[in-house]
Amino acid sequence: MGQTLGQQFKITFAGESHGPGYTVIIEGYPSNRIFDKELIQKELDLRKPGQSEFTTSRNEEDSFEVHSGVFEGKTTGAPITLFIPNKGQQSKDYSKIKDLARPGHADQPLFEKFGIRDYRGGGWSSARMSATWVAAGALAQEFLKEHGVQIISYTQSIGELSQIDLDYEEIKNIEWDHELYTPKGDVCQKMKEIIKQTKDVGDSIGGQCRIVAFGVPKNLGAPFGDSIKSKIAQYFFAGPAITALEFGSGVHAARLKGSEHNDTFLAEGGYQTNHHGGIQAGMTTGEPIDLLVTLKAPSSISKEQMLLNQKTQELESVSIEGRHDPCVVPRYCAVGKALLAMALADSLIARSR
């Protein structure tokens, strides 16, 4: 797939965290639709860092330019090119780690594979690439709205702290904390505390993000290679930091009997339960698609750790000062929505032509 996700709603993306900016070319979006820059900007703002003390204090201003596909405010059917310029990146920050590979980063794998390394931030392999996905995902969500699909995502857990599982009505109606994208309340407060403590000691922390799509039309996908689960998994694991993906009952399914796990039909249509997470035999069932994503703690920490000198092959104990993001889960809520939206749009758009 390379720098591409999707075939019918297809995006191709490129850029580096400290280059001129990020480009995404979007194919397959319907023509003759109003192109709403605000909606894309709104999604980009959800993802962008520097918004609260719980995320990185780097200030990435994620505005964007339209380089093709829109004429007089409407989409023309031509490929849509968006360009997100990099602003406020400070390349000089990175000169001191020019020859040093950081653990958990792409520094060493990229250097070994390509024999050269763009040492400004993660270079090519920066989480900032996901800004292109969020921009394209905003369009995908617009398209899905035409078909009655709504996607909601939230922070399910941070470190040891976990929200109780919300049922679908709660997900639609609960009051969210707008810094952590998690239900307001005690757990949320504790999450904020643990993030602060982690940040204070120059460390970072993992967590989980739940993403639910409501109103998904039936019969998208097929068994085996065209399985909607296969497609969604392909999209999500294209992103950095993800260590586990669960559908419906997820890891808990291991403990269930068939008589418990089989979702019983309702005579009026639909199912009593949704252990299958909205997908059976690779096809959507009309029930909500229900994902749980586990994200590792960000690799960038300022705590002292051993870095590998790529020239000398020796280890050096280094503390990398900087504005690191202590927890990526809240910002990932925007990314996860975008990825699921694009995967669904890729299946649904073929049907709508």
**Interactions with a copy of itself, residue window 300-329 (CB under 8 A):** 300-301, 303, 305-308, 313-315
Q: Name the segment binding a copy of itself (CB under 8 A); options: 6-14, 50-58, 166-174, 176-184.
A: 6-14
Using the minimum distance from each CB to a copy of itself, give the nearer residue, 32 or 173: 32
Using the minimum distance from each CB to a copy of itself, give the nearer residue, 48 or 229: 229
Binding mask 237-256 for a copy of itself (x = CB under 8 A): xxxx-xxxxxxxxxx-xxxx
Instruction: Kindly identify the residues of this chain, within the stretch 161-200, that bind a copy of itself according to CB under 8 A.
Output: 198
291 forms beta bridges with: 211, 247
Using the structure block, give the residue that is written with the tokens 């962008």. Answer: 48
Instruction: Yes or no: say if 343 and 142 are a contact pair by the CB < 8 Å rule.
Output: no
Using the minimum distance from each CB to a copy of itself, give the nearer residue, 92 or 173: 92
φ, ψ for residue 277 (rounded to 5)? Answer: 60, 35
Rounded Cα–Cα distance for residues 36 and 14 (Å): 23
Using the minimum distance from each CB to a copy of itself, give the nearer residue, 173 or 313: 313
Using the minimum distance from each CB to a copy of itself, give the nearer residue, 118 or 169: 118
| Residue 275 binds a copy of itself (CB under 8 A) | yes
Residue 25: CB partners within 8 Å, gap ≥ 6? 11, 12, 13, 68, 79, 80, 81
Using the minimum distance from each CB to a copy of itself, give the nearer residue, 123 or 183: 123
Rounded Cα–Cα distance for residues 12 and 3 (Å): 5
Instruction: Yes or no: say if 37 and 70 are a contact pair by the CB < 8 Å rule.
Output: no
Instruction: Kindly identify the residues of this chain, within the stretch 130-149, that bind a copy of itself according to CB under 8 A.
Output: none
Among 277, 278, 288, 336, binds a copy of itself (CB under 8 A): 277
Among 37, 39, 179, 282, binds a copy of itself (CB under 8 A): 282
Total of residues contacting a copy of itself (CB under 8 A):
141
Rounded Cα–Cα distance for residues 63 and 65 (Å): 7
Residue 322 is which amino acid? G
Rounded Cα–Cα distance for residues 81 and 84 (Å): 10
Nearest to 45 by CA among 161, 138, 116: 138
We find the least distance from the C-beta atom of residue 136 to a copy of itself, in angstroms, to be 13
We find the least distance from the C-beta atom of residue 279 to a copy of itself, in angstroms, to be 9
Q: Name the segment binding a copy of itself (CB under 8 A); options: 138-146, 166-174, 176-184, 218-226.
A: 218-226
Instruction: Kindly identify the residues of this chain, within the stretch 112-131, that bind a copy of itself according to CB under 8 A.
Output: 112-118, 120, 122-125, 129
Using the structure block, give the residue that is written with the tokens 């763009």. Answer: 118
We find the least distance from the C-beta atom of residue 173 to a copy of itself, in angstroms, to be 26
Rounded Cα–Cα distance for residues 113 and 48 (Å): 30
Instruction: Kindly identify the residues of this chain, within the stretch 20-49, that bind a copy of itself according to CB under 8 A.
Output: 20-23, 25, 27-28, 31-32
Rounded Cα–Cα distance for residues 128 and 57 (Å): 14
Rounded Cα–Cα distance for residues 118 and 98 (Å): 9
Rounded Cα–Cα distance for residues 303 and 78 (Å): 48
Residue 162: CB partners within 8 Å, gap ≥ 6? 156, 187, 208
We find the least distance from the C-beta atom of residue 67 to a copy of itself, in angstroms, to be 5
Rounded Cα–Cα distance for residues 226 and 351 (Å): 14
Using the minimum distance from each CB to a copy of itself, give the nearer residue, 141 or 305: 305
Using the minimum distance from each CB to a copy of itself, give the nearer residue, 71 or 148: 71
Instruction: Kindly identify the residues of this chain, within the stretch 53-112, that bind a copy of itself according to CB under 8 A.
Output: 65-69, 71, 74-81, 83, 101, 103-106, 108-110, 112
We find the least distance from the C-beta atom of residue 336 to a copy of itself, in angstroms, to be 14
